[in-house]
């Protein structure tokens, strides 16, 4: 029994050392650069030209990534952001069986329908499984505000579920009014909207 325990400790030591060595010498920046290339290609497939002027992976045992000067353009809109930082949450990932991330971002803006929407920053808890992105506790701050939860079907490029409250200056109501043609947006009052959708278990939707 003691011999078996000794072998187990030696095996554990080997795994820890091997894992630490792999993590230490892993080409992190090359992996980040490749990730940016994949994101750019995926965006182009959806008709969006995505540019990223800086992407890095932080040091430490828990991976975290930072992307700076992001811009996306399409015939319908353009969106810009100063910085987005994602931090891996290992315990949450283990519990949920997904890739769990803590996401924070700086100021940015969206131009659509001849109007400009701006925000000062925000945060969200994200969980990713193949084809599905869940965003919980989203908090977008600034002249444009949004709070709530959202689930997106990445394969179908559609919103699966949503419970969000959105606030914008009154003169930006036409922007959300236009977006309501293809998003489940409902107006409560001037400048106050709700993005709401119940899970339809795969029924086609916009």
Burial class of residue 91 in the structure, from the number of CB atoms within 10 Å of its CB (0-12 exposed, 13-18 middle, 19+ buried): exposed
Model confidence over 162-187: pLDDT tens digits? 999 999 988 888 888 888 888 899 99
Q: Residue 29: pLDDT band by 50, 70, 90 thresholds? A: low
Confidence of residue 35 (pLDDT cuts 50, 70, 90): confident
Q: Say what the pTM is.
A: 0.70
From CA 184, how far away is CA 155, in angstroms rounded?
19
Judge whether residue 195 has pLDDT over 70.
yes
Query: What is the DSSP secondary structure assignment for residue 172, as one 8-state letter?
Result: G
pLDDT tens, position by position, 60-110: 667 788 888 889 999 888 999 989 998 989 889 889 889 899 999 999 998
- The span from the CA of 93 to the CA of 102, in Å, is 11
Q: Measure CA of the first residue to CA of the last residue in the chain; give whole Å.
A: 62
Give the three-state DSSP class for 46: coil
């Amino acid at each position: 029994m003691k011999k078996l325990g000794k072998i187990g400790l030696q095996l554990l030591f080997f795994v820890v050392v091997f894992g630490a060595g792999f993590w230490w010498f892993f080409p992190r920046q090359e992996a980040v650069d490749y990730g940016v290339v994949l994101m750019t290609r995926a965006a182009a497939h959806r008709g969006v030209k995505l540019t990223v002027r800086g992407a890095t992976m932080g040091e430490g045992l828990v991976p975290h990534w930072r992307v700076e000067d992001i811009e996306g353009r399409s015939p319908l809109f353009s969106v810009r952001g100063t910085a987005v930082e994602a931090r891996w949450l290992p315990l949450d990932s283990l519990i949920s069986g997904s890739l769990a991330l803590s996401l924070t971002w700086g100021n940015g803006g969206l131009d659509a329908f001849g109007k400009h929407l701006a925000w000062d920053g925000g945060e969200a808890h994200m969980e990713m499984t193949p084809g599905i992105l869940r965003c919980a506790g989203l908090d977008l701050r600034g002249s444009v505000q949004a709070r709530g939860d959202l689930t997106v079907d990445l394969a179908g490029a559609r919103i699966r579920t949503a419970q969000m409250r959105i606030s914008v200056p009154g003169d930006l109501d036409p922007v959300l009014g236009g977006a309501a043609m293809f998003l489940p947006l409902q107006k409560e009052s001037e400048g106050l909207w709700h993005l709401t959708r119940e899970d339809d278990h795969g029924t086609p939707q916009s």
